């Protein structure tokens, strides 16, 4: 067994929250630059130029690229040979609290969905844990803005609606959202599982590298067709009209019940922030 | 095009959907929670914490300012959440709104009827936009934190006209231009 100290978790989560908010990363920067080259609308090109400039300023000045520094989503993979003798969730939340205070990040979490009083430290995080083989602990921190999350949905389709039904649902969702989720967006689609599994795999889809494709033949076909059709919608950067509405579409699949075809669509804005660490 | 606040009808009449503008002058921040309070005050016939006549409201909740900075990152939030409150504010003299995303028909109607304008700023360009903000004063609802009402002095704040008084809508008209029928 390998023992991991609480302080290491707290400090790592703090660091990842700040790094994710300040630095978009090379992969996303390249995707935005390539999108700018492809954009056919002049206002769209101008928007992409300013987004790229903004992300460079954020990195250079060590300030958040977006004022919506999000609610923190944390994916943890715990090796079965890792030993921890503390409350992991509590340690993660302490890291979030420190990161949002020390990084001058916005506290965007309310304690009660109806009373809506701010928790003032951006906790609690939304934490997903998975137990895997090995003696390492992997932490992925993904601050998620409200604007793009608000345009996301889960719907239970019928098996008869099939591939085309899923495709139509995604296109309709993006078309209705127009400029609200800050395009160019990344679209995470979870197909299968049940209500909560579909949502989780859609979120996980957003964590995939921006340039990869699904290993599944039909999922890859769906990713390619959706990206092409979304970019034919005319919505463009910030919904000002153009050809670059989405940077990527990621489809994740999971087995499901004979009666069901659950679909979740999770939209990610162009400030796609995630940072990981292996302890 | 360079424009200054407060907005006059003459300026508003000169603006058309798609125009790129640089705004200089005073603008006020307010988002969901502050809008609810403003509209409740109007309904109760009570005075507002600032005179909205001919002013611009910017939908934003900035990050905390780092030492040496006047404000943190401050890009626009999504405007449709303010749609239920906007027509009543326009009716009471508000002339401009800055946000992101499209508006509903009631807002567009109020913009036409009362001569107002909706500007789109670039969502996520929060570090860039912060550079155009020179002075910040918290004027109401400090308890709302990032959602409090702040008075901002801006120079060359970058935005695009989305809805003008002539019924043009950049988010319909320009999207149509680039839509590929399949």
pLDDT of res. B98: 98
Whether residues B72 and A104 touch (CB distance < 8 A) is answered with: yes
Rounded to an integer, the average pLDDT of B3-11 is: 96
- List chain B residues with CB under 8 Å of A53: 125, 128
Look at residue B39 and tell me whether its pLDDT is greater than 90.
yes
pLDDT confidence of A93, banded at 50, 70, 90? very high
The ipTM assigned to this model is 0.94
B35 is catalytic: yes
Rounded to an integer, the average pLDDT of A93-101 is: 98
Q: Which residues pair with B56 in a beta bridge?
A: B96
Q: Which residues pair with A137 in a beta bridge?
A: A78
Structural domains present in chain B? 2-9+32-178 (3.20.130.10)
Please write the tens of the pLDDT for every residue from B49-65: 999 999 999 999 999 99
Whether residues B72 and A65 touch (CB distance < 8 A) is answered with: no
> CA B24 to CA A73: how far, in whole Å?
38
Look at residue B181 and tell me whether its pLDDT is greater than 90.
no
Strands A71-79 and A137-144, sheet pairing: antiparallel
Q: Which residues pair with B103 in a beta bridge?
A: none
Share of chain A above pLDDT 90, in %: 99
pLDDT confidence of A119, banded at 50, 70, 90? very high
Please write the tens of the pLDDT for every residue from A214-237: 999 999 999 999 999 999 999 999
CA distance to partner chain B, nearest, from residue A258 (Å): 33
pLDDT of res. A158: 98
- List chain A residues with CB under 8 Å of B98: none
> CA A59 to CA B130: how far, in whole Å?
14
Residues B129 and B158: beta-carbon distance below 8 Å: yes
- List chain B residues with CB under 8 Å of A117: none
CA torsion, ordered A107, A113, A114, A115, to nearest 10 deg: -40
How long, in residues, is chain B?
A: 182
Share of chain B above pLDDT 90, in %: 97
Rounded to an integer, the average pLDDT of B86-113 is: 97
Structure tokens given for A53:
């400039």
pLDDT confidence of A100, banded at 50, 70, 90? very high
Please write the tens of the pLDDT for every residue from A198-216: 999 999 999 999 999 999 9
pLDDT of res. B65: 95
Residues near A198 by beta carbon (within 8 Å), at least 6 away in sequence = A154, A190, A191, A192, A254, A262, A263, A264
DSSP string of B7-53, one letter each residue: PPHHHHHH--TT-EEEEEEEEEE--HHHHHHHHHHHHTT---SS--T
Structure tokens given for B56:
């611009």
CB distance from B46 to chain A under 8 Å? no
Structure tokens given for A226:
């959706």
pLDDT confidence of B182, banded at 50, 70, 90? confident
CA distance to partner chain A, nearest, from residue B134 (Å): 17
Rounded to an integer, the average pLDDT of B29-50 is: 96
Helical H runs in A75-181?
88-102, 146-149, 162-177
CB distance from B96 to chain A under 8 Å? no
Q: Which residues pair with A186 in a beta bridge?
A: A248, A268
pLDDT confidence of A43, banded at 50, 70, 90? very high
Radius of gyration of chain A (CA): 19
Structure tokens given for B148:
């409090």
């Amino acid at each position: 067994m390998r023992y991991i100290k609480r302080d290491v978790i707290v400090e790592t989560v703090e660091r990842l929250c700040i790094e994710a908010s300040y630095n978009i990363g090379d992969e996303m920067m390249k995707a935005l630059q390539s999108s700018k080259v492809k954009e056919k609308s002049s206002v769209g090109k101008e928007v992409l130029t300013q987004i790229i400039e903004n992300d460079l300023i954020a990195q250079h000045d060590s300030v958040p690229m977006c004022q919506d520094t999000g609610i923190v989503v944390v994916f943890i993979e715990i090796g079965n040979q890792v030993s921890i003798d503390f409350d992991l969730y509590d340690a993660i939340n302490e890291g979030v609290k420190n990161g949002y205070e020390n990084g001058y990040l916005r506290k965007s979490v309310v304690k009660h969905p109806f009373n809506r009083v701010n928790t003032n430290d951006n906790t609690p995080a939304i934490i997903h844990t998975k137990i895997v083989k090995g003696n390492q602990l992997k932490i992925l921190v993904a601050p998620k803005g409200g604007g793009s999350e608000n345009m996301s949905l889960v719907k239970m389709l019928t098996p008869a609606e099939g591939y085309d039904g899923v495709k139509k649902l995604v296109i309709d969702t993006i078309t209705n959202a127009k400029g609200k989720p800050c395009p160019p967006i990344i679209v995470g689609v979870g197909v299968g599982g049940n209500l909560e599994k579909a949502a989780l795999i859609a979120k996980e889809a957003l964590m995939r590298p921006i340039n990869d494709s699904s290993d599944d033949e039909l999922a890859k076909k769906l990713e390619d067709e959706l990206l092409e059709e979304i970019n034919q919608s005319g919505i463009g950067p910030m919904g000002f009209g153009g050809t670059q509405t989405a940077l990527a579409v990621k489809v994740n699949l999971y087995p499901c019940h004979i009666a069901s075809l659950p679909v979740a669509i999770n939209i990610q804005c162009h400030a796609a922030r995630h940072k990981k660490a292996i302890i | 095009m360079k424009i200054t606040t407060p907005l006059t009808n003459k300026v508003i009449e000169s603006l058309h959907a798609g125009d790129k503008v640089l705004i200089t002058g005073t603008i006020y921040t307010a988002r969901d929670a502050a809008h609810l309070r403003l509209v409740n005050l109007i309904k109760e016939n009570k005075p507002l914490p600032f005179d909205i006549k001919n002013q611009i409201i910017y939908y934003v909740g900035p990050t905390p300012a780092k030492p040496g900075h006047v404000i943190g990152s401050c890009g626009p939030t999504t405007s449709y959440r303010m749609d239920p409150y906007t027509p009543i504010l326009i009716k009471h003299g508000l002339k401009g709104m800055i946000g992101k995303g499209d508006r509903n028909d009631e807002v567009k109607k109020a913009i036409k009827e009362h001569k107002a304008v909706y500007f789109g700023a670039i969502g996520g360009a929060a570090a860039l936009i912060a550079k155009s903000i020179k002075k910040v004063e918290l004027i109401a609802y400090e308890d709302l934190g990032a959602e409090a009402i702040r008075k901002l002095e801006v120079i060359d704040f970058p935005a695009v006209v989305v809805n003008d008084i002539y019924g043009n809508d950049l988010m319909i008209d320009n999207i149509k231009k680039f839509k590929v029928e399949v």
